[in-house]
Amino acid sequence: MPTGTTAVPVAPGAPEPTAIEPEVRVGLKIRATSVAIGGVASLVVSEPDGTTIAQVPAGQVWRVVPSGRGLAVGPAGGPLSGPYDALALAASAAGDAVRIDGRPYRGVTDILRDTVGVTVVNRLPIEQYLLGVVSSEMGRRVAAEQEAVRAQAVASRTYVMRNLGRWRTQGFDVYATIADQVYNGIDGETPEGTEAVETTRGLVLTYNGAPIDAFFYSTCGGRTAEGSEVFRDAVRPYLRSISDVAGDGLPYCRISPRYHWREEWTGSAMLSTLRRTLPAVVGVAGERVRDLRDLRVVARTGSGRVDQLAIGLGRSEVQVVGRQIRQVLRVPSGEILRSNAFTLAVSGAGRTVRNVVAEGSGAGHGVGLCQWGAVGRARAGQRYDQILAAYYAGTSLERLY
């Protein structure tokens, strides 16, 4: 098991260890204009105080929509009742699931009226939540890679324990997306994910007795990033940049389909992209984004990732830094750039840019656990505790419940 190191303060706000498995509230939908509800069997719709409003028969789909400052509910295409301040949905029989827009979820689902539309919150025990997270994050894995799945289970459990209450003002703890970690409910569950959650039940990574900031991502490209390279306040002794290379001199994550990538833009395509992204991300006035003259790397982080980018626009220059860079250099498909670990080749620089090529490695921010690196380490025979010790040096494994 990994052991502790020299004690340093940990950011405030971490939950105290408890002998009781906590409940987590997951934001499934935010600001939705309408939500379809139903049950695998029948579904009980009630007010927050437990007063039953209706029972949705098995096989039927009802809808919930905003109504004034509240919510209205009723059969799809039929009359609606309400408004209600909030709704709670629960399966009429133990073990059945609640369907939200056709997707089944364990636990209870609350529907709230937000400032724009409808917020849907899935409320359930953490271990049930993790069943829908682990394989959604790791994909399907074979037996030789199971230790990586177990490592992800511990990292995901640690992440949610650390972040309970993060989005309290919106009515939930974590998003069901990459804004926190991907959660697909029952559709995201697999046998290997379930085994990993059950095998590691209650285990989290701690430092100084508190759950750590267990950041993770897809592919590091051979070297992880220091926490503070990406997240300003993430100065942690366990979030260090490490060389993620096996004994043969090759990165553990070289098996990733995102290990090496190449993106290319014509000058006009890049200018069109910047016209959309610079105002939104950096706050540059739209009229300034014309006459693309230059695009160059100004500074890199200690792990070699691009930390500052200069964009020449006519007679002025815009500086783009840190996490903004991936948002600004969106690829032709519209997705953000895969990582900050890249080089640039620009033709026409200093006059009018004709072509831009970015060649890079990895995918994601690079801080903490490299998911494809974990798979490579598992294939090399490392146990899940060894994998976690490599990416979160100096932490301890502790069973909270």
Q: Where are the domains of the chain?
A: 34-116, 129-255+368-399, 260-361
Tell me the pLDDT of the chain (401 aa) as tens digits: 333 332 333 334 445 555 689 999 999 999 999 999 998 789 999 998 889 999 999 889 999 999 999 999 999 888 888 899 999 999 988 778 999 999 999 999 999 999 999 999 999 999 999 999 999 999 999 999 999 999 999 999 999 999 999 999 999 999 999 999 999 999 999 999 999 999 999 999 999 999 999 999 999 999 999 999 999 888 999 999 999 999 999 999 999 999 999 999 999 999 999 999 999 999 988 888 989 999 999 999 999 999 999 999 988 899 999 999 999 999 988 899 999 999 999 999 889 999 999 999 999 999 999 999 999 999 999 999 999 999 999 999 999 99
- The amino acid at 351: R
Model pTM score: 0.89
d(CA 164, CA 87): 22
- Strands 216-217 and 369-370 come out as parallel
Task: Give the integer Cα–Cα distance in Å for 241 and 250.
Answer: 17
Query: Two tokens at 39?
Result: 């049950």
Provide the 10 A C-beta neighbour count for residue 246.
15
- Specify whether the CB–CB gap between 206 and 212 falls below 8 A: yes
Strands (DSSP E) contained in 19-100 are: 23-32, 35-39, 43-46, 52-56, 62-67, 70-75, 81-84, 86-91, 98-100
